[in-house]
């Protein structure tokens, strides 16, 4: 976090370090014959670095999100160029599908939803965070399913609107609305995770 209370410098730092790690990976695996081996090494060395503690710093501006995603874009282009099983000019979405990968943005969203799920189901011991989560409790018995389970605090600034807890509750409300049969208080971790995989 920098003096403007945002994570731009942190994002710059992880993108720079990940680019170096990706360069090292490309140089070290020149003779590798299997795509899967390179993908496993990428996941362990590079992607893990791009995703560490993303619940805290998940970028809300598209420009920062695209900078983080650019590392995986470069890796999928490298795979396409090296193995020739798909054109490097193909759209990014086709390349990640071909290599059985997911966009980093969707993976961060999954981590956000899993974090809030674990928090409200007492799988994480953090009373200070639970105290700050507002639940929307209806005064009467609702006729329709509740789609906004969490209260998102109002704010006049982008920083407040996109603070981690506001972002988490907003994402969960949207998820509950789009997947109506989800029950975050009843579903097991495994069931919940299968419902949020994009």
pLDDT of the residue at 20: 98
pLDDT of the residue at 198: 55
Burial of 162 (0-12, 13-18, 19+ CB in 10 A): middle
pLDDT of the residue at 134: 86
pLDDT of the residue at 155: 86
d(CA 76, CA 39): 9
- Distances 17 to 22, 24, 165, 168 between C-alpha atoms, Å: 9, 11, 27, 27
pLDDT of the residue at 1: 53
For helices 62-83 and 8-28, what crossing angle results, to 10°? 0
Q: Domain spans of the chain? A: 8-101, 108-196
Digits of tens for pLDDT over the chain (198 positions)?
Answer: 555 667 889 999 999 999 999 999 999 999 999 999 999 999 999 999 999 999 999 998 999 999 999 999 999 999 999 998 899 999 999 999 999 999 999 999 999 999 999 999 999 998 898 899 888 777 777 777 677 788 888 888 888 888 899 999 999 999 988 887 888 888 999 999 888 875
What proportion of the chain, given as a percentage, has pLDDT over 70? 95
pLDDT of the residue at 3: 56
Please say whether the beta carbons of 124 and 136 come within 8 A.
no
pLDDT of the residue at 62: 93
pLDDT of the residue at 2: 52
User: Token pair for residue 2?
Assistant: 């920098």
pLDDT of the residue at 83: 92
pLDDT of the residue at 34: 95
d(CA 81, CA 65): 24
């Amino acid at each position: 976090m920098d003096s403007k209370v945002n994570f731009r410098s942190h994002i710059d730092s992880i993108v720079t370090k990940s680019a170096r790690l990706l360069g090292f990976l490309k140089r070290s695996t020149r003779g590798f014959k299997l795509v899967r081996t390179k993908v496993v090494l990428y996941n362990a060395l590079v992607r893990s670095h791009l995703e560490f503690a993303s619940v805290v710093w998940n970028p809300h501006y598209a420009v920062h999100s695209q900078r983080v995603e650019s590392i995986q874009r470069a890796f999928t282009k490298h795979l396409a160029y090296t193995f020739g099983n798909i054109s490097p000019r193909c759209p990014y979405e086709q390349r990640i599908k071909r290599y059985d990968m997911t966009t980093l943005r969707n993976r961060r969203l999954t981590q956000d939803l899993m974090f809030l799920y674990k928090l409200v189901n007492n799988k994480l011991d953090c009373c200070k965070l639970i105290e700050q989560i507002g639940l929307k409790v209806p005064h009467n018995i609702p006729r329709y399913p509740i789609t906004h389970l969490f209260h998102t605090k109002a704010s006049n600034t982008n920083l407040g609107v996109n603070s981690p807890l506001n972002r988490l509750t907003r994402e969960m409300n949207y998820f509950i609305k789009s997947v109506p049969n989800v029950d975050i208080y009843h579903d097991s971790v495994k069931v919940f995770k299968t419902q949020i995989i994009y």
